[in-house]
Structure 1
Amino acid sequence: MRVSEYYNIGRSQGTLDFVDVDTVNDIRVYIDPSTIRHLTDDWGKECIIMITTFFDSVLDAVRMGDKERTTYLLGNLGEPNETHLGISRGKSAGRGFGKQMSVDFAAKLAASQAAQTGLIEDLEDTSFFLDRVDKDIVSDITTNIIRGPLISYTQQMAGVFGIPLEEGIESGAVWNPRRLEWEQGYTELPVADGEKLLLVPKVIVRRDLHLSRSEYYRNHLAPTLQSEEAENPGSKLVRVLKDGSRKVYKGDIEKEYGSSKPDVVRETLKRPSVYSSYRETKKSVPPTPISHTELSEVGNTPPPDYEALLEAVISTPPGKAEAGNYHSRVEALLTALFYPSLSMPEMEEEIHEGRKRIDISYTNNAVSGFFRFLTRHKIPSKYVFIECKNYGKEVTNPELDQLSSRFSPLRGQFGILTCRSFDDKDRFLNRCRDTALDHRGFAIALDDSDLAQIVSDVMKAINWKPSDPPPREPEIPPRIHDYPLLHKRLKALVS
């Protein structure tokens, strides 16, 4: 039974920010530290500090030959079955980073030439150079390191969806990045089927790690070996073509050098600059977050039904009595539409010491599309604010002022006001433009028909093929996360 079913949340995976795991079995996705390294929000930065300080501490201990410190650091890593991520068949247990694995991991690091020479810099490098260390082990270690932030995230999601928390739950070992020590304590967590539960954001999981050994071999190491052989006058791998040119085929390279993990490690240690170059290239390219489609495939769940989500919003009767339902349904729709650019929704978030509330706030971790466009053009949008107005009357200046009063240079100066309809839409959009020109922030207003247009654009983008005509706005590339209507509205604010 999935978390959403166990707690009667009434949501599908596409409308949930976390991975909707089975409360007993595992789902085959993994936490990827490289993906976390590209998060720009406070939660992500906290995780990055934890991962970096922990693994630097491990490498320092290994290189100094401090077995006691190494044993302490790695010995506090346990089997993180509470996330239900990984490769177990049946009940989550036994596949993780157990005590014997920590001993083996320490021994492999100590004996690794790659660790001693500095070729292993980050946790994810271990999947390249250490035997029997792959995405599942890297994911388990990462889970242990960021257990503290995952506990906070779980508590946040529990507040959003009314998931009950139990007091006095053992936290497990939590890494303290300032003291460089493990700490134990008690906390509040959900308990499902008798076991504590940690929820994991979708934006940090993948089916494979961002660093790919096959990609590295195919596009970096093998071409280097080809070039070396081609430049070697005595190479037996060179084929002389009819035009006199010299050619070395990848198939011959694989037969001569091999392509297994030990083969890749051996040849990389002879050519460390090849891996260093690959790693720097990958660091400059943000990982692609797992998509709705991929999560549906691995989790055996249906993809988001955007039309049904839209219908739930549109069919909500206007008025104060249904304001709560409208608010929740808008959040469900936008969470599905704006993933993976916007994540970690908070409902009724308090600011100014509780004197003001924001209906919905999202963290902006976009790597492309409209929400990345905002940050690239210096519009503060670390967080994106949504105000929901289920009025049966005209939305006017006070509602717009309410949204703009939530803006600040630190939190963000971009938001969306959703409402049912306008008596005079052009007049209200001009009010939004006035707000922007007065340097009070950037507010985009969307009524029911606008939400319907965004859904239509997203569905067209999903089904777009290169042979199809260009989308409505040719200057906007036909990608799902570009949202032509949002671009159009933003352009109207600043033109």
Structure 2
Amino acid sequence: MSEMILRVHEGVAMRFSEYFKINRTDDDDWFDVDLDVDLPYFLDPYLVLQDSSPAWAEARARLNRFYERVHAALSPLDWGHGNPEAPRIVRMSEPREFRLGLGKYSRLNSGRTLRNPLGGIKLPVPDIKGPWEAGVTQDFLRRLGSFDRISDMTCVALKGLLIRYTQDVASRHSIPICQVAVLDAAWDSISDEWRTEFHELPIDRFGQPVILIPENFISGKSSLPGSDFRESEFVEFLTSLLERSGVGQVAQEVRLFHDAVIDITVTTSTTLHIVECKKKLPQTSSRLEEFVGQIKRYGALARNQYAGLDQRLTLATPGKLAATHRHYLASHDISVWDGPWIYQQASSMGLEEEARRYVGDVDVSDNAEAVTFGNRLSKLSPGRESWALYQRLCQEIFEYLFSPPLRTPITESRNENGVNRRDFILPNYAPTGYWEFLRKEYRADYIVVDPKNYAGKVGKERVLQVANYLQRHGTGLFGIIVCRNGADRAAQLTIREQWILHDKMIIVLQDADLLQMLTDKSFGNDPVELIRQKIEDFRLGI
């Protein structure tokens, strides 16, 4: 065990498989957790219930019994009006043994956190027989709180079975195990509370137990009904919200031409509001420009049909647009109804729960860390004098945005000949999600990031410099240039050439992109969405 601890302190081992030197086989269906940070993934109760294998029949039965108890305990209660304590069935500590959870990313030696999984949310009495019948998970489980909380509760409900599963893995690979105290290991029906038990489990370098989960039970987002939605459903919700507000005559899917249909119009005696809804927030400059052209065309076509009325053009989206992009739309006389605005309007009408399906658990205040990064970027002058400060700031921003699931940046790495210096790289061992897709499809084994603090646009020679960094058997074939004002035409053509001839994918991020990704992170959305849109725009533009 001392050898393992030494290797971790040297920065070699991080994943469970790396720490215990496991050569995985086809029998190893477990999710390979990171032992130092909580990964933003979940134990999805629906994936457990949908599994039909006999090996997990007991898990399905146990999960049903658990949520039946939760439902029975919570149904008579009104959580919005002073009930002093949660029922004991939901009073459990955070199951840190699993290393999962959205938004925590907390170091495991920072101390144990106790919390109420319900988070003070008011629970109305559902008119149902049990929590797994039609419509119940959408109405009942969603009201328990965020999917992160539901995942934690599911981990605790299945903890005993998953302990046995982990012990089987340890036995198969001769992993050393120790007897440790496991909080909330079983429900004691006599004392009516969760009890601590001692079990033999693998432990990490801090002496903390590790419990594994089958990978097919892990989800990067909730698969519960209502956790995702179609754009048409978002339009329906916003239409009903506007109708209830009484702002004017509300109409949906107003056809102006055979290829021009407005999502929502709101008409008053003096004004026509044209509202275009986008489930996916347009985050890149090309998508914003395309949106401006689209809604202005609708406005021009509507002038004949709605003669004499002033026009108001609006983008409605459940996401949150960065201030720079909002200013760009405002310069074209386009207003924005984003997630925080929609949530506030819904709250004023008592529709918070309905709004959460579309905009999530909204905190209307800005994340202080994201705001600080944005302010530092905006105040930093382009040019050689601030070059080192800009490089350091970009590294800090990328670590904040993407680590985890990416590893901590490696600074100013040189190749063996000492010729090609990469300002920093982020190792990409992401087991799921879009980073995994980038690694498999674009050879993004290491994310090469090259900040350039030029006052003007990045030119062709800088693209070629980054292209030299990218090697199929070295860092991989994916690179990012970070700059202040984008790339010139020659650089764009060179990026295209590098992709077509050499399979090297290079994207350029500028200040507006960094600010949007910081806004995404602050709002609880995945900032990698902007990178996905950048690549899509590039590929579809060839």
TM over 0.5, shorter chain: no
| Higher share of residues assigned helix | 1
* TM-score of the two chains, using structure 2 as the length reference: 0.41
